[in-house]
Amino acid sequence: MNEILRQVLIVLVVMGGALATAAILIWLERRLLGIWQDRLGPNRVGPLGLLQPLADVVKILTKEDWIPPFADRPVFVIAPTIVVLAALIAFAVIPVTPTIVVVDLDVGLLFVLAMFSLGVYSVVLGGWASRSKYALLGGLRAAAQLLSYEVFMGLSLMGVVMLAGSFNLGDIVAAQKGMWFCIPQFPGLVIFLIAGLAETHRLPLDIPEAETELVAGYHTEYSGMKFGLFFVGEYLGITFTSAFIVTLFFGGWSGPLLPPIVWFVGKCLFFICGFILVRGALPRPRYDQLMDIAWKLLLPLALLNIVITAGILLIMG
């Protein structure tokens, strides 16, 4: 009984932490973007503007939630929920601290990659079910971009798996006791960062939403809470990708002096701010340039990374 209660508590803590981070990100992203653009972000609602997510939630819930009459209703309604579900489920395998992990899967890494793939459905179905030009274009481009970048996302992580010898995320964190994998697997880290940006379709690789191009891409026809869910899903994706990078390349919860949870949250925050900085700094590449980089540059580099890592491991015995 105690064991079950403990498990339920861990589930609630991890899920609650993820959702709370997504909510705080609403405020954090706008504040940070403001700082880097020589202006203030939201600072009126509550001290330092911290109640801004609350105001945003109230706003989105009271907006008119209109479903286009020409849209495919069941798919239209379900599409935003898929990305939120995939991101939340993927949090189940992340080792937050040595004791807090919802489920210690032996194929944790593969599970995460599978959840990333499921997240693609949301964008594609959203664009398709809207039955409108710009949404369809956004959905098509999203499908192509997400699929292409997913190919070498998995491959870039194989180097980490080879070094750690297991797909279990807890084992990967433990294997980084001597040296974090960001140093021997630096090319893998860079490739995975770019792939992570693409998978969560964040600027600069946000052709699917392309706020200044395709009207609003796949979420053109969405309003009200469904639109809000797309955004919560995107923020959850950012949080999850940061947590994943920290787990795989930066030692997860390890660090001197401070308790593991502090190190984990701190490192995740660092990468989340990095995501936001990249959004504020980089221009968007053209769609064909995006696909070029994926297939002609990053995929060969990921394969090269695997070959060289394997070679070095073989030589060193």
Site of interaction with another protein (CB under 8 A)? 34-40, 277-278, 280-283
Residue 38 beta carbon to another protein: minimum distance, rounded to whole angstroms = 5
Decide whether 38 or 288 has the Cβ nearer to another protein.
38
Contacts 24+ apart (CB under 8 A), 1-6: none
- What is the distance between the alpha carbons of residues 80 and 228, in angstroms, rounded to a whole number? 9
- Please, is 261 exposed, middle or buried when counting C-beta atoms within 10 Å of its C-beta (0-12, 13-18, 19+)? middle
Token output for 206: 């946000």
Decide whether 264 or 275 has the Cβ nearer to another protein.
275
Residues near 26 by beta carbon (within 8 Å), at least 6 away in sequence: 52, 53, 56, 231, 235
Residue 149 beta carbon to another protein: minimum distance, rounded to whole angstroms = 17
Q: Which residues of 227-255 are buried (b: 16+ CB within 10 A; e: fewer)?
A: bbbbbbbbbbbbbbbbbbbbbbbbbbbbb
Residue 186 beta carbon to another protein: minimum distance, rounded to whole angstroms = 13
Residue 204 beta carbon to another protein: minimum distance, rounded to whole angstroms = 9
Decide whether 137 or 194 has the Cβ nearer to another protein.
194
**Cβ pair 86, 144 in contact under 8 A:** no
Residue 206 beta carbon to another protein: minimum distance, rounded to whole angstroms = 16
Decide whether 49 or 126 has the Cβ nearer to another protein.
49
Decide whether 83 or 182 has the Cβ nearer to another protein.
182
- Residue 99 phi, psi dihedral angles, 5° rounding: -105, -25
Residue 226 beta carbon to another protein: minimum distance, rounded to whole angstroms = 32
Decide whether 37 or 99 has the Cβ nearer to another protein.
37
